[in-house]
Amino acid sequence: MQATISGVKISGMCSTVPDNVQKFEDDMKHFPFSEKSSLKLARVMGFKEHRVSDPQTTHCNLATYTLNYMIHKGYINRDKIQAMIVVSQSQDHPVPGNSKVIHGLAELPRNVYCMDLYENCIGFISGLYAACSMINGSGVEEVLLITSETSACYANKKDRSTYPLGGDAAAVTIVRKSGDPEDKIDFLFDNDGSRREALITPAGRHRMPYSEETAKVYQDEMGNFRSLNELHMDGTAVFQFVMMEVPPFVDEMYRYAGVDKNDIQYHITHQPNKFMLEKLADLMKVPREILFNNVVEYFGNSSCVTIPVAATHNLGSKLVDNRYKVCFSAFGAGLSLAAAITDFGHLEFCEMIEHPGKGTNKYPY
């Protein structure tokens, strides 16, 4: 699917990461592998440290804390919030949805429209499309796009294929109506559900409900420990999917948006690991320095939050003072692909903050 939505822009972005820094040297003490092999993997993949929430702090706490920070700083007015879209693959409860939980924790007005999107790696771009569509098709002037994830907190520490990759984070992106028709975002989406089992959590919902059997931990053929309730990743299949499918997909994005690849000043891409992104930059024939690859190294892969984390960490205040032609792209569970091209910058704010833990929602803590 491809779409262009005009008269919309991103006007601000704030990401939040836990203040708890988990070092890879500590992680590897839990792995059923030699220290030598783990350190070799760390050098290739870029594992150094990641941010992991404490068990008291859910993705809704991270998101609410971010909202309260923005309200405290005067970036948004609590009483004038019109709508929010919450994107996550985690849930505080099966019912109600995350948006209602955050609405209550943040004490927002009752007339705020709340929408939930269950999404994974492409969640930021899916949420951005939903926010732009809402603005384009209604009288809503501004939408808060909230992306949040805390699954790293609950990952199996003995699974080297997933645990050191994971990170927890939240972000609030303000998407606003613009009177300038030159403010537009081009979108492209693609899915291949036939390959869904390459990245899947087998148990925990209706297809295979939680049970004592699904909770049993076993050792797989690679030596990692996990249960059916935890994420399973066929690393080879995912790597091949990204290397084969993403470069032509991004080329299609260029063609649809009518831009030359050399006009793209930054590629702000979903962050699986450093090795994959370096190889991807080379295949796409773009300089590695404009396709960021350092989020897993310092924060971990927070699924739908990695694009805001990459933007706030690597560009930050540059996005307040400047405007760049950027390509957002993401790939992952589904297996799915998404991309968007827009002029990104002259933001009112672009910051990263830390969450102090213990489930707090208030700012200042």
Q: How far, in Å, CA of 351 to CA of 186, rounded?
A: 25
Residue 364 domain-assigned?
no
Residue 111: the pLDDT is 96
Task: Tell me phi and psi for residue 260, to 5 degrees.
Answer: -85, 140
Residue 153: the pLDDT is 59
Residue 148: the pLDDT is 97
Q: Are residues 172 and 192 in the same domain?
A: no
Residue 111 domain-assigned?
yes
Residue 19 domain-assigned?
yes
Q: Are residues 139 and 234 in the same domain?
A: no
Q: How far, in Å, CA of 303 to CA of 320, rounded?
A: 25
Contact by Cβ (8 Å): 48, 297: yes
Residue 167: the pLDDT is 92
Q: Are residues 299 and 329 in the same domain?
A: yes
- Nearest alpha-carbon partner for 272 in 244, 221, 245, 310: 310
Residue 362 domain-assigned?
no
Collapsing DSSP states into helix, strand and coil, what is residue 305? helix
Q: How far, in Å, CA of 157 to CA of 169, rounded?
A: 18
Q: Are residues 146 and 233 in the same domain?
A: no
Q: How far, in Å, CA of 122 to CA of 143, rounded?
A: 19
Residue 273: the pLDDT is 87
Residue 136: the pLDDT is 92
CATH number for the domain that contains residue 153: 3.40.47.10
Q: Are residues 288 and 196 in the same domain?
A: yes
Q: Are residues 250 and 148 in the same domain?
A: no
Block mean pLDDT (10 aa), the chain, length 365:
96 97 84 81 82 94 98 96 96 93 97 96 97 93 96 72 85 95 95 88 84 84 77 84 95 97 96 91 96 94 96 97 97 94 97 96 90
Residue 2 domain-assigned?
no
Give me the number of domains the chain comprises: 2
Q: Are residues 202 and 326 in the same domain?
A: yes
- Nearest alpha-carbon partner for 3 in 240, 188, 180, 174: 188
Q: What is the per-residue DSSP string for 1-26?
A: -EEEEESEEEEEEEEEEES-EEEHHH
Q: Are residues 132 and 172 in the same domain?
A: yes
Residue 154: the pLDDT is 67
Which residue(s) pair with 188 in the sheet? 2, 339
Contact by Cβ (8 Å): 14, 319: no
Residue 1 domain-assigned?
no
Structure tokens at 243: 């290397």
Residue 167 domain-assigned?
yes
**Strand 323-332, strand 266-269: pairing:** parallel
Q: Are residues 336 and 215 in the same domain?
A: yes
Q: Are residues 141 and 258 in the same domain?
A: no
Quick one: DSSP state of residue 166?
B
Q: Are residues 202 and 157 in the same domain?
A: no
Q: Which domain holds residue 263?
A: 185-345
Residue 123 domain-assigned?
yes
Which residue(s) pair with 10 in the sheet? 175
Q: Are residues 215 and 282 in the same domain?
A: yes
- In this prediction the pTM is 0.94
